[in-house]
Structure 1
Amino acid sequence: MTVLLIVIGAALGAPLRYLTDRAVQARHDSVFPWGTLTVNVAGSLLLGAVAAVPAAPAVTALIGTGFCGALTTWSTLSYETLRLARTGARRHALANALVSLVAGLGAASLGYALGRALAG
């Protein structure tokens, strides 16, 4: 049953990642991967909140592992950073790596704090 919940969460998270990435990136005339940054920060915020709230393992599997796991994307972040560096946009590559790490950790921390506050 847990695997099925993960699959359902991933089936929702992966298309949302793609659609969000395309929508955000279409609004920016830049080589910087704003779409990937957006989904990674949003997913980190949500995962932080999920981690803070006492929830059944099924909920954690569905939302945390499935949905957030498919919504966020370390592999795309890595690829886009490498692509930026190889095409000569080294400052963008460095900014992508640093901003993604700091914003992701900050979002996860904020999500955790919000989750704890809402859980009482």
Structure 2
Amino acid sequence: MTGALLAGAVAVAGGAGSVLRLLVDTWVGQRSSGRFPWGIVAVNVTGSFLIGLAVGLLDDGAARTVVATGFLGGYTTFSTASLDSARLALRGRGGRAVAHAVGTAVVCVAAAWLGLLLT
């Protein structure tokens, strides 16, 4: 795959991943209390697990790049998780902010590790 074709595939896959992130975040958010950003937690944990699986299963460098960097890179979001932690802190929910920040990091690393382990 040429560089331009790979870049285009990553862009399209990233856009699709971003749309899925919105759908999952909205779906989970509508089913929770709204006091904690469970939607983005669900996105980041499932995305971390799937990135681990993709890296472990996909031997082809281009396919791995499109799936892991493109689709799952668009699906997961560290910046939104960071913003959610900051918003919790600004609302006076310091304990939840720390739990969210630390918990997200620990659980996401564990999920990626599990995905790699399973492959």
Q: TM-score range by the shorter chain?
A: over 0.9
1:53 aligns to 2:57 (yes or no)? yes
Kept in 1, the 8 Å contact 2:58–2:64? The answer is: no
Give 1:25's aligned amino acid: G
Give 2:69's aligned amino acid: T
1:104 aligns to 2:97 (yes or no)? no
> What is the TM-score with the length of structure 2 in the denominator?
0.92
Kept in 2, the 8 Å contact 1:39–1:72? The answer is: yes
Partner of 1:79: 83
How many Å apart are 1:54 and its aligned residue? Answer: 4.4
Identity %: 36
Give 1:24's aligned amino acid: V
Q: 2:92 aligns with which of 88, 91, 94?
A: 88
How many Å apart are 1:77 and its aligned residue? Answer: 0.5
- After TM superposition, the runs of 4+ consecutive aligned structure 1 residues lying more than 4 A away are none
Kept in 2, the 8 Å contact 1:5–1:58? The answer is: no
Q: What is the Cα-based RMSD across aligned positions, in Å?
A: 1.0
SS in 2 for 1:29: coil
Structure 2 residue runs of 5 or longer lacking an equivalent are: none
Kept in 1, the 8 Å contact 2:21–2:43? The answer is: yes
Kept in 2, the 8 Å contact 1:9–1:63? The answer is: yes
1:113 aligns to 2:114 (yes or no)? no
> What is the TM-score with the length of structure 1 in the denominator?
0.91
How many Å apart are 1:41 and its aligned residue? Answer: 0.4
Q: 1:65 aligns with which of 64, 69, 73?
A: 69
Distance in 1 separating the partners of 2:80 and 2:37: 10
